[in-house]
Amino acid sequence: MLVLEGLDVWRGPSQVLHQISLEVAKGEIVALLGANGAGKTSTLLTISGLLRPRGGRAILVEGGQEFDLSRLSADRIVAAGVAHCPEGRQVFGGLSVTENLRMGAFLRRDGEVAQDMEEMGRLFPILRERAGGLAGQLSGGEQMMVAIARALMSRPKLLLLDEPSLGLAPQMVDAVFDIIETIRERGTTVLLVEQNAGMALDIADRAYVLEQGKITLSGPAAELAEDRRLQEAYLGLAPAEASS
């Protein structure tokens, strides 16, 4: 569904991505792992059209068509089937939960928005309870659910999730990861950026590891979870423990 081919991306005077190539197949959860500043968010911003590569391409394959996302505006990328749930949630704090969700359907011209609003209420029962309240007054976990539901309201084929567990209590992290698995089961492909490498690898089919803007490891998630280098760097194991 998604192919990145040799992306070179700058932010200001600094190159943040170096020849990034990866693939996401339809129906997969693919995790993108790495330390802060490794280039994970920049990768998602490039896919969604908020950063432009100086080299390489980002290709979305959908319905027998190829869309060169590197040449499309951000709104056309959404229309092509890509939704981005950004780091830090970034809900519209002065709007109600319902209004936030309707913003996610801004580009839609079909007659099924109300139906999807009902579906989001079933998927996120707490949001149905908070529908008329201001999104800015919700807890961090509830705001994360608003952000994910808002992204789903565009009916994406590919959902980009950036650090969904950031700042959440452990119980809420578990709930969010359960929702991510449910989203995949309902037919949406997911590219997941996540600092919590252990949980990401538990639900992902495959994963890529970024270091200083370059991919240094990739493979099936179960195999990477057993990789000593990744265990030492991201799973909190000391070298002696990882090798035992």
**Residue 243 confidence class, pLDDT cut points 50, 70, 90:** very low
**Residue 242 confidence class, pLDDT cut points 50, 70, 90:** very low
pLDDT at residue 43 tops 70: yes
Each residue's pLDDT tens digit, 178-199: 999 999 999 999 999 998 899 9
Token pair 């194991």: residue: 237
- Provide the domain limits for residue 55: 2-243
**Based on the structure, what is the number of domains in the chain?**
1
pLDDT at residue 227 tops 80: yes
Rounded distance, CA 238 to CA 103, Å? 46
**Residue 239 confidence class, pLDDT cut points 50, 70, 90:** low
Q: Which two tokens stand for residue 80?
A: 């092509």
Mean pLDDT of the chain: 91
Output the pTM of the full model. Answer: 0.91
pLDDT at residue 157 tops 60: yes
CATH for 165: 3.40.50.300
Burial of 21 (0-12, 13-18, 19+ CB in 10 A): middle
Q: Which two tokens stand for residue 142?
A: 């509830």
Section 217-233 average pLDDT = 87
pLDDT at 169: 84
Section 120-124 average pLDDT = 92
